């Protein structure tokens, strides 16, 4: 008898959980867009394999940004510079290969190391100089954008200008074609290519990353510390956790994830561009918040963030299916963010109210 | 407390400004004439400062009250696009239907609506201002870019555009003092007086310094907050229009210029406290404005920097200067805190030795 | 100017606690009325009702016979009531003048601030009180004492008829106290109704005319200051029937060797603290609010910087730079504010219980879910924590159960705690659970832990502890044992200067 009761409450727990309402939201969104697109375009233009593959294709870059953002937000911080760090990474790879003939692995390694360095700088500003996280990362963002313009210039050119760098065929030949091949593998390789369900390689990277981070968060000691620091930094200190150390690691991680996003951006286009990732700054934040990462820190998980990511991407795709202009999509992403915030604030208040009544 | 001690920081900044100005003037000497200390250059610099100056005022007031609005640039963009579109409306005779004064009022109404929305989000729904305004920022820029399809709306109204060209006073046959800058400076001056000499101005500091104490003093915090949001949005429109008058268009390029962000940086540089309250008026902010703009603009006149390859430096410097200014503020705050702890320790020891 | 302030049948309850019960007394203009009582007697609650911060459940507050009905603190201020709290409501970056006239700066021409008038008006008030303060100086640069005087001047400017002081002399030196008393004398002469809350007997006898004594939320009596003495007051404050609460506690009688040896410890908040604690001993730290007990605990725990003195723990001299060092050495702290500093409320019981030992539970980077569950379950059993599962988040537990989670956290087998510091462990907890906790504390002593028991409830401290140290104003004023202590004697020490 007891086991039946337990099972019943497990089901009830699930339906009350955030994951459930998120999945519900996702399903709702899909339904709305399918119907809308049907009405507008007279046919199934949203719920198709093509849409699905587009979503999957465009998911990876914002996905990594969301990953870093979510992890950081659980600890109560925010990083507005991650998009710039990613763009910098992409540009660095292009520049180092194009101008200095770096091999592909050296370019990627250096890009990631520099990204982590930026993350550490953010952490220094927040921890040692007590900057507000958003101000620190916002200021760093402009600095990094400037450095991005700097490295995009061809040192050998007579009058170097900030530019978009595309890996030229000469360079590729010079390096025996391998850098491009590897980068193309990262960026463009698709399993079952050409078929209806082609799966890009980088999405596998993304899913693997989410799983790994999810495990770290749930199952490792470090993950527990992240939750503790995010939930109550003072109490965390009084049980022996070092909030500063956690903060450093998470800022570095956010930058690292952004770096990976940069690597993938570059690999997809074999270009470094100064406007890369600009639109994605808030996608990461929105996805994380939609996914139940509370802005105050201390709750939420990778699973929720992933679904939040799906919701955000499906939204963009849905807007395309109903032929909305990309600018309107940007506008409505802002609305989506506001909705995400309201959900967050409302659920916080509900939880506290429930608790007070229970006491 | 002597005047000089209080204004120490501002005087330092002023000195820095003079130094940069002098360096630029000297270093740009070509053929016996300074390219920087000349009509066109100064005029250009002052034009640049006009829009930023106006928007700085709005941002500074918000900061002092402990609030912020990060969507100001997007709001202004939307405003100027509406303005430009309104000017294009023709009546049945094919002439321009709307005088630009009227268009201005209509756009101002839009800004007020936006400000009221922000006030609602932050005061009624209790969103944190910076998060709410980051979110609304993409809404406004999205609408703006959609409306213009990412392009430009030209403005040809002579009476309006002339404001963007007119300047008075001359150095060596070239006029250098734009009318727009005079307007901008006048606005800054009026607000500076308001902040220091009116009851409402002092209320702003109260709200920012200790909202609880402000409430206990009978101040309606929501009212103050709403007024400041409206103030910021309308000033943003004015700043945006100043920019449009100069460039003769409304375009998304405005977002790249981001005058409200540099205005905010200037204010913080000049000592406006980021955490609300604080004691400085707009004096420091104004000095911060001219210092920041002069420095970045004058870089164009250093011979080694004339090559385009140094463009990146200008972009980087904005953020770098803000960081340095905030670090200096933070370290001085830490020092003050340490001094307070030491003083307290002495007091405790004195009391104990008496006991 | 008002002539009287009257409390009539004031009652106020909070969940599980009757804070005030039928409080009735009257304060008259031109007199200083002292309000005296132990912590928990209800003084602060009464003050909050007076200032409009709280609404009474029963009863009324009347000024000159007119019943006051405040919707907010602002209403109270407008009605002429000013309460001067210990936390100042000033804005440090603004001048003294602006803090005295917030929102009501004198204006000329309708909207321009009349700086000259502001300065003169402020100077007039400053002169009335004979203070060496510059009216245009930023308040943040003034000493704490003078900041308090600015608060008083603010109340004076408001023309408040009723002015209440809440423990005003805590941060002041002797000279500053003299200045404060001079001010109060002035206010008295102006015919204000003055309420004065304090623990310090000598002050009460120096400046007050009448004394109202409260105990356990009830009104005891009013006495004329001139007609009473210290012993009588203390007697009236204590003396309650404790029944069997403490008689049935099964105690530990065998103490071990010295576990903690504190010599001359100083931090920014305490000075010259010296005492010893043995294994198996419960050491009570008694005193009134602000005496320095929590600060002593924090200094020992490494949470506050140590400015002088030495701590020897378990035979070794130690210098903890952070709580983590203290925890590793075997010291545990259950903080005073369990919600703000003790628990991560949105996390589960399991997370909170395993928090200090996460690193020790397993060798690799992964958590050991099985061990976590085990130690949580044993904590739940040992302390009878009422919860359906170990995954319930702490926010949803009652205060008593929350406290038990914290106790469970520090006594789980892997923590290796030797010294347990409990700061106000029964705050806000119902009587039944309190008894459970008392027995748990005694059991811990029996198991060989050293326990430092900090509480503002005198009865509790002297009946649970083996040895009691009394603190006042940041240093130790005396010590006694459970057998010898009486509430009166301990209270007297707690109020000693």
Q: What SS3 string covers A220-287?
A: EHHHHHHHHHHHCHHHHHHCCCCHHHHHHHHHHHHHHHHHHHHHHHHHHHCEECCCCCHHHHHHHHHH
Using a CB–CB cutoff of 8 Å, tell me whether B5 touches chain C: no
- What is chain A's mean pLDDT, rounded? 77
Does position A27 have pLDDT exceeding 80, yes or no? Answer: yes
Distance, in angstroms, between B313 CA and closest chain A CA? 6
The string of pLDDT tens digits covering residues C123-137 is: 998 888 778 888 888
Q: What is the DSSP secondary structure assignment for residue C303, as one 8-state letter? A: S
B224 in Cβ contact with B126 (< 8 Å) = no
| Beta-carbon count within 10 A of C1 CB | 12
Pair (C487, C453) in one structural domain: yes
Confidence of residue A160 (pLDDT cuts 50, 70, 90): low
- What is chain B's mean pLDDT, rounded? 81
Alpha helices by DSSP H, listed for C255-368, are 293-301, 323-329, 349-354, 358-361
Residue-level pLDDT at C277: 93
- What is chain C's mean pLDDT, rounded? 86
Residue-level pLDDT at A2: 41
Q: Do C307 and B1 touch (CB under 8 A)?
A: no
B81 in Cβ contact with B89 (< 8 Å) = no
Nearest 5°: CA angle at C289, between C284 and C294? Answer: 55
What is the DSSP code string of C100-150? HSTT---EETTTEE-HHHHHHHHHHHHHHTT----TTSBGGGS-HHHHHHH
Confidence of residue B235 (pLDDT cuts 50, 70, 90): very high
Which sign does the torsion angle of CA C357, C360, C361, C362 carry? positive
Mutant choice from C302, C338, C341, C347 vs A, greatest count of A C-beta within 10 A:
C347
Q: Do A130 and B142 touch (CB under 8 A)?
A: no
Does position A13 have pLDDT exceeding 70, yes or no? Answer: no
Confidence of residue B1 (pLDDT cuts 50, 70, 90): very low
Alpha helices by DSSP H, listed for chain A, are 2-16, 18-41, 49-74, 82-100, 104-127, 133-151, 169-174, 178-188, 201-219, 221-231, 233-238, 243-269, 281-290, 302-321, 326-358
Q: Which residues contact B124 (CB under 8 A, 6 or more apart)?
A: none
Distance, in angstroms, between B340 CA and closest chain C CA? 10
The string of pLDDT tens digits covering residues C195-205 is: 999 877 888 89
In the numeric block, the tokens 């939320």 are attached to C217
Measured between beta carbons, the chain B residues lying within 8 angstroms of C94 are 202, 205-206, 209, 277, 279
Average pLDDT over residues C461-490: 89
Q: At what angle do helices A82-100 and A104-127 cross, to 10 degrees?
A: 150
**Residue C247 in domain:** no
A47 vs C472, higher pLDDT: C472
In the numeric block, the tokens 């205005």 are attached to B263
A290 vs A306, higher pLDDT: A306
A227 in Cβ contact with A35 (< 8 Å) = no
For C105, which of B199, B209, B354 is closest by C-beta distance? B199
Query: What is the rounded distance in angstroms from the CA atom of residue B267 to the CA atom of residue C187?
Result: 44
Residue-level pLDDT at C262: 93
Residue-level pLDDT at B186: 93
Q: Do A140 and B319 touch (CB under 8 A)?
A: yes
Confidence of residue C182 (pLDDT cuts 50, 70, 90): confident
Does position B26 have pLDDT exceeding 90, yes or no? Answer: no
Q: What percent of chain C has pLDDT over 90?
A: 23
Pair (C69, C194) in one structural domain: yes
A181 vs A19, higher pLDDT: A19
Which sign does the torsion angle of CA A121, A127, A128, A132 carry? positive
Distance, in angstroms, between A345 CA and closest chain B CA? 8
What residue numbers bound the domain in which C394 lies? 258-494
If you count them, how many residues does chain A have? 359
Tell me the fold of A21-345: ABC transporter involved in vitamin B12 uptake, BtuC (1.10.3470)
Q: Which residues of C86-100 are buried (b: 16+ CB within 10 A; e: fewer)?
A: eebbbbbbbbbbbbb
Q: Of B194-203, B318-327, C110-119, where does mean pLDDT reach its minimum?
A: B318-327
Residue-level pLDDT at A358: 40
Q: Do C358 and A235 touch (CB under 8 A)?
A: no
Pair (C344, C272) in one structural domain: yes
Residue-level pLDDT at A198: 64
Q: Of A287-291, B122-126, C24-28, where does mean pLDDT reach its minimum?
A: A287-291
Tokens found for residue A227: 């939750």
**Residue C366 in domain:** yes
Task: Judge residue B305's burial from the number of C-beta atoms within 10 Å of its C-beta, 0-12 exposed, 13-18 middle, 19 or more buried.
Answer: middle
Residue-level pLDDT at C34: 94
Residue-level pLDDT at A5: 44
Does position B217 have pLDDT exceeding 70, yes or no? Answer: yes
Confidence of residue C300 (pLDDT cuts 50, 70, 90): very high
Pair (C377, C476) in one structural domain: yes
Residue-level pLDDT at B171: 61
Average pLDDT over residues B187-197: 89
Confidence of residue B191 (pLDDT cuts 50, 70, 90): very high
At C58, give phi and psi (nearest 5°).
-135, 165
Average pLDDT over residues C167-181: 79
Residue-level pLDDT at A51: 77
Final residue of a structural domain among C170, C204, C237 = C237
Residue-level pLDDT at A1: 39
For B138, which of A141, A144, A333 is closest by C-beta distance? A333
Helix (H) or strand (E) holding B291: helix B282-298
Q: Which residues contact C174 (CB under 8 A, 6 or more apart)?
A: B354
Residue-level pLDDT at C195: 94
| Beta-carbon count within 10 A of B193 CB | 14
At C468, give phi and psi (nearest 5°).
-125, 130
A349 vs A161, higher pLDDT: A349
Confidence of residue A4 (pLDDT cuts 50, 70, 90): very low
Residue-level pLDDT at C468: 93
Measured between beta carbons, the chain C residues lying within 8 angstroms of B205 are 91, 93-94, 98
Residue-level pLDDT at B42: 80
B226 vs A264, higher pLDDT: B226
The separation between the first and the last C-alpha atoms of chain C, rounded to the nearest angstrom, is 36
CA C451 from centroid of its chain's CA atoms = 21
Confidence of residue B355 (pLDDT cuts 50, 70, 90): very low
Contact partners for chain B, using 3 or more CB pairs closer than 8 A, are: A, C
Using a CB–CB cutoff of 8 Å, tell me whether B9 touches chain C: no
Q: Break chain A into its structural domains and give their ranges.
A: 21-345
Distance, in angstroms, between B332 CA and closest chain C CA? 15
Final residue of a structural domain among C183, C207, C237 = C237
Average pLDDT over residues B220-249: 92
| Spatial CA neighbour of B207 closest among C77, C75, C93, C112 | C93
| Beta-carbon count within 10 A of C426 CB | 23
Does position C364 have pLDDT exceeding 90, yes or no? Answer: no
Q: Which residues contact B56 (CB under 8 A, 6 or more apart)?
A: B188, B260, B263, B264, B266, B267, B285, B286, B289
Q: Of A170-184, A262-276, B245-259, C191-205, where does mean pLDDT reach its minimum?
A: A170-184
Residue-level pLDDT at C359: 82
Q: Which residues of A322-358 are buried (b: 16+ CB within 10 A; e: fewer)?
A: bebbbbebbbbbbebbbbbbebbbeeeeebeeebeee
Q: Domains in chain C: how many in total?
A: 2
How many CA atoms lie within 13 Å of A336's alpha carbon, on the beta-carbon side? 29
The string of pLDDT tens digits covering residues C76-95 is: 888 889 898 877 778 877 88
CATH number where C379 lies:
3.40.50.300
Mutant choice from C81, C83, C102, C158 vs B, greatest count of B C-beta within 10 A:
C102
Query: What is the rounded distance in angstroms from the CA atom of residue C334 to the CA atom of residue C423?
Result: 6
Distance of CA A162 to CAs A262, B244, B312, C293, Å?
18, 26, 8, 64
Query: What is the rounded distance in angstroms from the CA atom of residue C474 to the CA atom of residue C457?
Result: 18
**Residue C414 zone, left/alpha/beta (φ > 0; ψ -120 to 50; rest):** alpha
Average pLDDT over residues B64-77: 91
Residue-level pLDDT at A174: 53
Does position A193 have pLDDT exceeding 70, yes or no? Answer: no
Residue-level pLDDT at C146: 82
Distance of CA A72 to CAs A63, A123, A226, Å?
14, 11, 9
Residue-level pLDDT at A353: 63
Does position A288 have pLDDT exceeding 50, yes or no? Answer: yes
**Residue C427 zone, left/alpha/beta (φ > 0; ψ -120 to 50; rest):** beta
Pair (C230, C309) in one structural domain: no
Virtual CA dihedral for C397, C399, C401, C405, nearest 10 degrees? 100
Q: Of A163-167, A262-266, C245-249, where does mean pLDDT reach its minimum?
A: A163-167
Q: What is the CA radius of gyration of chain A?
A: 22
The string of pLDDT tens digits covering residues C380-438 is: 888 888 888 888 888 778 778 888 899 888 888 778 889 999 998 887 777 777 888 89
Distance, in angstroms, between A33 CA and closest chain C CA? 36
Q: Break chain B into its structural domains and give their ranges.
A: 50-301, 306-355
Does position B163 have pLDDT exceeding 70, yes or no? Answer: yes
Q: Do B318 and A142 touch (CB under 8 A)?
A: yes
At B34, give phi and psi (nearest 5°).
-80, 125
Residue-level pLDDT at B112: 96
Does position B311 have pLDDT exceeding 70, yes or no? Answer: no
Average pLDDT over residues C290-317: 88
Interface pTM (ipTM) of the complex? 0.74
Query: What is the rounded distance in angstroms from the CA atom of residue C51 to the CA atom of residue A129?
Result: 39
Average pLDDT over residues A153-161: 61
Does position C73 have pLDDT exceeding 50, yes or no? Answer: yes
Residue-level pLDDT at C469: 93
C473 in Cβ contact with C272 (< 8 Å) = no
In the numeric block, the tokens 């690999």 are attached to A267
């Amino acid at each position: 008898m007891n086991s039946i009761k337990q099972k019943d409450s497990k089901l009830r727990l699930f339906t009350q959980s955030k994951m459930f309402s998120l999945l519900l939201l996702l399903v709702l969104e899909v339904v709305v867009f399918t119907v809308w697109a049907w009405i507008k375009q007279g046919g199934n233009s949203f719920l198709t394999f093509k849409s699905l593959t587009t979503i999957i294709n465009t998911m990876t870059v914002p996905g990594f940004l969301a990953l870093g953002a979510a992890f950081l937000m659980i600890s109560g911080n925010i990083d507005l510079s991650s998009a710039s760090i990613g763009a910098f990474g992409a540009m660095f790879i292009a520049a180092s290969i194009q101008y200095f003939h770096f091999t592909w692995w050296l370019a990627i390694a250096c890009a990631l190391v520099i990204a982590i360095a930026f993350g550490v700088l953010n952490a220094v500003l927040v921890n040692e100089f007590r900057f507000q996280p958003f101000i620190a990362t916002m200021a760093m963002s402009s600095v990094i954008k400037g450095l991005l313009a700097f490295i995009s210039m061809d040192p050998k050119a007579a009058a170097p200008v900030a530019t978009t760098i595309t890996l030229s065929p000469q360079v590729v030949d010079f390096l025996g074609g391998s850098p491009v091949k590897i980068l193309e593998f990262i960026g463009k390789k698709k399993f079952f290519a050409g078929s209806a369900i082609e799966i890009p390689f980088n999405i596998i990277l993304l899913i693997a990353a989410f799983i790994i981070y999810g495990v770290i968060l749930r199952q490792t000691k470090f993950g527990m510390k992240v939750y503790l620091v995010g939930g109550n930094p003072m109490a965390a200190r009084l049980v022996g956790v070092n909030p500063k150390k956690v903060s450093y690691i998470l800022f570095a991680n956010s930058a690292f994830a952004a770096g990976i996003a940069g690597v993938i951006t570059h690999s997809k286009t074999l270009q470094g561009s100064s406007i890369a990732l600009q639109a994605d700054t808030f996608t990461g934040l929105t996805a994380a918040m939609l996914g139940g990462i509370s802005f105050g820190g201390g709750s939420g998980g990778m699973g929720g963030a992933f679904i939040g990511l799906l919701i955000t991407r499906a939204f963009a795709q849905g807007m395309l299916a109903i032929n909305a202009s990309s600018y309107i999509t940007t506008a409505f992403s802002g609305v989506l963010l506001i909705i995400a915030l309201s959900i967050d604030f409302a659920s916080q208040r509900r939880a506290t109210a429930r608790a007070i009544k229970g006491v | 407390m002597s005047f000089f001690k209080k204004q120490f920081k501002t005087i330092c900044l002023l000195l820095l400004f003079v130094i940069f100005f002098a360096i630029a003037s000297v270093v740009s000497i070509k053929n016996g004439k300074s390219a920087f200390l000349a009509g066109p250059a100064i005029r250009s610099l002052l034009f640049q400062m006009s829009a930023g100056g106006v928007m700085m005022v709005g941002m500074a007031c918000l900061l002092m009250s402990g609030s912020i609005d990060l969507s100001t640039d997007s709001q202004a963009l939307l405003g100027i696009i509406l303005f430009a579109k309104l000017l294009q409306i023709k009546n049945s005779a094919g002439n321009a239907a709307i005088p630009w004064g009227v268009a201005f009022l209509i756009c101002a109404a839009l800004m007020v609506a936006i400000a009221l929305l922000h006030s609602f989000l932050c005061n009624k729904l209790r969103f944190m201002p910076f998060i709410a305004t980051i979110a609304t920022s993409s809404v406004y820029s999205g609408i703006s870019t959609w409306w213009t399809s990412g392009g430009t709306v030209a403005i040809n109204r002579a009476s309006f555009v002339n404001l963007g060209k007119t300047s008075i006073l001359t150095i060596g046959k070239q006029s250098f003092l734009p009318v727009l800058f005079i307007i901008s400076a006048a606005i800054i001056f009026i607000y500076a007086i308001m902040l220091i000499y009116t009851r409402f101005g002092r209320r702003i500091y109260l709200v920012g310094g200790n909202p609880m104490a402000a409430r206990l003093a009978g101040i309606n915090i929501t009212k103050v907050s709403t007024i400041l949001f409206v103030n910021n949005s309308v000033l943003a429109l004015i700043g945006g229009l100043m920019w449009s008058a100069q460039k003769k268009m409304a375009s998304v390029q405005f977002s790249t210029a981001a005058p409200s962000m540099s205005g905010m940086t200037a204010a913080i540089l000049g000592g406006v406290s980021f955490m609300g309250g604080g004691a400085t008026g707009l004096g420091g902010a104004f000095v911060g404005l001219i210092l920041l703009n002069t420095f970045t603009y004058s870089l164009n006149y250093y011979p080694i920097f004339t090559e385009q390859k140094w463009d990146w430096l200008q972009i980087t410097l904005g953020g770098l200067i803000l960081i340095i200014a905030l670090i200096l503020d933070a370290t001085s705050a830490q020092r003050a805190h340490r001094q307070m702890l030491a003083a307290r320790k002495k007091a405790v020891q004195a009391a104990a030795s008496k006991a | 100017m008002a002539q009287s302030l009257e409390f009539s049948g004031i009652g106020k309850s909070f969940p599980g606690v009757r804070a005030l019960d039928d409080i009735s007394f009257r304060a008259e203009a031109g007199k200083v009325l002292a309000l005296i009582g132990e912590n928990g007697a209800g003084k602060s609650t009464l003050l909050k009702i007076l200032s409009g911060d709280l609404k009474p459940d029963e009863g009324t507050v009347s000024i000159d016979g007119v019943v006051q009905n405040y919707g907010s603190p602002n209403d109270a201020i407008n009605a002429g009531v000013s309460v001067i709290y210990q936390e100042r409501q000033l804005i440090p970056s603004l001048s003294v003048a602006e803090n005295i006239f917030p929102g009501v700066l004198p204006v000329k021409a309708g909207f321009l601030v009349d700086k000259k008038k502001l300065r003169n008006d402020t100077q007039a008030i400053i002169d009335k009180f004979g203070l060496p303060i510059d009216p245009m100086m930023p308040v943040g640069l003034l000493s704490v004492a003078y900041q308090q005087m600015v608060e008083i001047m603010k109340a004076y400017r408001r023309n408040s008829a009723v002015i209440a002081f809440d423990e005003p002399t805590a941060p002041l030196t002797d000279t500053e106290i003299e200045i404060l008393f001079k001010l109060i004398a002035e206010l008295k002469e102006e015919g204000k109704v003055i309420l004065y809350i304090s623990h310090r007997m000598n002050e009460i006898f120096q400046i007050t005319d009448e004394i109202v004594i409260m105990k356990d939320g009830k009104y005891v009596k009013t006495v004329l200051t001139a007609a009473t003495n210290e012993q009588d007051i203390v007697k009236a404050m204590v003396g309650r029937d404790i029944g069997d609460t403490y008689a049935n506690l099964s105690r530990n009688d065998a103490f071990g060797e010295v576990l903690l040896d504190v010599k001359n410890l100083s931090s920014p908040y305490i000075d010259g603290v010296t005492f010893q604690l043995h294994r198996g001993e419960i050491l009570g730290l008694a005193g009134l609010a602000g005496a320095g007990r929590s600060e002593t605990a924090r200094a020992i725990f490494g949470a506050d910087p140590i400015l002088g003195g030495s701590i020897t723990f378990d035979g070794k001299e130690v210098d903890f730079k952070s709580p983590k060092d203290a925890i590793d050495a075997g010291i545990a702290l259950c903080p005073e504010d369990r919600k703000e500093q003790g628990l991560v409320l949105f996390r589960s019981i399991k997370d909170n219980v395993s928090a200090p030992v996460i690193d020790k539970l397993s060798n690799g980077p992964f958590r050991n879910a099985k061990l976590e569950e085990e130690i949580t379950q044993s904590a739940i059993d040992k302390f009878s924590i009422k919860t359906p599962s170990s995954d319930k988040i702490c926010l949803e537990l009652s205060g008593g159960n929350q406290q038990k989670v914290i106790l469970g956290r520090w006594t789980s087998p892997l923590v290796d705690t030797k010294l347990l510091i409990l700061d106000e462990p029964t705050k806000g907890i119902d009587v039944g659970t309190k008894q459970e906790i008392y027995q748990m504390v005694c059991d811990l002593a029996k198991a060989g832990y050293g326990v430092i028991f900090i509480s503002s409830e005198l009865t509790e401290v002297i009946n649970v502890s083996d040895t009691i140290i009394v603190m006042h104003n940041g240093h130790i004023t005396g010590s006694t044992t459970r057998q010898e202590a009486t509430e009166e004697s301990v209270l007297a020490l707690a109020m000693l200067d």
